[in-house]
């Protein structure tokens, strides 16, 4: 849709996956179930850690913030995607698209920085256990998390401000299921190579910096764990890190493919949509289950919390 006076695009159409109507309904039901499970799983982690004083440690404080980021992340993308699956128009307003794009990159950037912080936390706990309580104090943990949110908020402003200045004269169809930066920029009436290069540089800095911190931290952890004489101690150390490595692998694998490539290589939008599913839909769903099922302490306290609630309910009923 264009404004007849200014000839400026006022809304965009999200093409999505171009499915038949019966398939769109089946995909809608599947994504709705995944959306509900993602919200419930991450909210369960936050609730269990909040109510159990035994889990009030830096590791679980960071885990709660990761769950909060995942909740906000899926809320910024999935509701509109679900609505478009049941709609013929599949439209989103100009400023709605800009807002969705901003929160996607803001929360995604904070997510990667937090993953790096969590890997550093595990490095300190396993490689320097005597210094861990001093270095990873409550104040330091709060400072790190605030820095994570602040960097995500500020680092996304510059490219989004430049994006808002672009003229969009049509067409207005975005070949994606959400307002991603590159497909949106490519609809502008002017040459956008400079903006795509800015996106590439910023994405590469965030991804490669956080990946370096994560990789180095776990490299030191693996070396330290192999020097632990007790097999029980090695197993316990690995169990606290395996979930972190799994989550980081899923995130970095999909996002590096999507954003850490030079613009000169081109953007296969159909392929990017498929890869984006891992980042936008699969990863937020798997996170709570990976951390819960692979972490005996969280799983044990979750089951204990549920059983105590059931026991309390029966007592009140009687």
Given a cut of 60, whether residue 305 has pLDDT beyond it is no
Amino acid 4: pLDDT? 42
Given a cut of 50, whether residue 1 has pLDDT beyond it is no
Amino acid 120: pLDDT? 92
Three-state SS string over the chain comes to CECCCCCCECEEEECCCCCCHHHHHHHHHHHHHHHHHHHHHHHHHHHHHHHCHHHCCHHHHHHHHHHHHHHHHHHHHHHHHHHHHCCCCCEEEHHHHHHHHHHHHHHHHHHHHHHHHHHHHHHHHHHCCCCHHHHCCHHHHHHHHHHHHHHHHHHCHHHHHHHHCCCCCCCCEECCCCCCHHHHHCCCCCCCHHHHHHHHHHHHHHHHHHHHHHHHHHHHHHHHHHCCCCHHHHHHHHHHHHHHHHHHHHHHHHHHHHHCCCHHHCCCHHHHHHHHHHHHHHHHHHHHHHHHHCCHHHHHHHHHHHHHHHHHHHHHHC
Given a cut of 60, whether residue 128 has pLDDT beyond it is yes
Digit-coded pLDDT (tens) for 44-64: 888 888 887 888 889 889 989
Amino acid 5: pLDDT? 40
CB 160 within 8 A of CB 101: yes
Query: Which of the four pLDDT bands, split at 50, 70 and 90, describes residue 21?
Result: confident
Digit-coded pLDDT (tens) for 259-293: 766 655 555 666 777 778 878 888 888 777 776 65
Amino acid 85: pLDDT? 85
All domains in the chain, ordered by first residue:
13-317 (1.20.1070.10)
Digit-coded pLDDT (tens) for 171-223: 888 888 888 888 888 888 888 888 888 888 888 888 889 989 988 988 888 88
């Amino acid at each position: 849709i264009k404004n007849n006076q200014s000839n400026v695009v006022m809304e965009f159409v999200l093409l999505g996956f171009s499915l038949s109507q019966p398939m769109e309904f089946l995909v809608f039901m599947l994504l709705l179930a995944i959306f509900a499970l993602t919200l419930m799983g991450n909210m369960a982690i936050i609730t269990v850690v909040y109510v159990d004083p035994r889990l009030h440690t830096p590791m679980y404080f960071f885990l709660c913030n990761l769950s909060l980021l995942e909740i906000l992340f899926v809320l910024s993308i999935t509701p509109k995607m679900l609505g478009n699956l049941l709609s013929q128009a599949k439209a989103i307003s100009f400023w709605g698209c800009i807002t969705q794009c901003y929160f996607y990159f803001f929360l995604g950037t904070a997510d990667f920085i937090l993953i790096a912080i969590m890997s550093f936390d595990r490095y300190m706990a396993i490689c320097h256990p005597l210094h861990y309580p001093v270095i990873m104090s409550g104040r330091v943990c709060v400072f790190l998390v605030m820095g994570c949110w602040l960097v995500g908020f500020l680092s996304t402003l510059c490219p989004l401000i430049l994006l808002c200045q672009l003229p969009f004269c049509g067409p207005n169809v975005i070949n994606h299921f959400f307002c991603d930066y590159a497909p949106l920029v490519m609809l502008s009436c002017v040459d956008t190579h400079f903006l795509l290069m800015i996106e590439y540089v910023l994405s590469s800095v965030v991804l490669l910096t956080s990946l370096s911190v994560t990789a180095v931290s776990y490299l030191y952890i693996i070396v330290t764990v192999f020097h632990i004489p007790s097999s029980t101690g090695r197993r316990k150390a690995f169990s606290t890190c395996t979930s972190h490595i799994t989550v980081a692998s899923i995130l970095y694998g999909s996002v590096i493919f999507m954003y850490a490539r030079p613009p000169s290589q081109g953007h296969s939008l159909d392929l990017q949509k498929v890869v984006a599913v891992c980042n936008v839909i699969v990863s937020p769903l798997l996170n709570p289950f990976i951390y819960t099922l692979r972490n005996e302490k969280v799983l044990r306290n979750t089951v204990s919390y549920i059983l105590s609630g059931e026991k309390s309910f029966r007592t009140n009923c009687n």
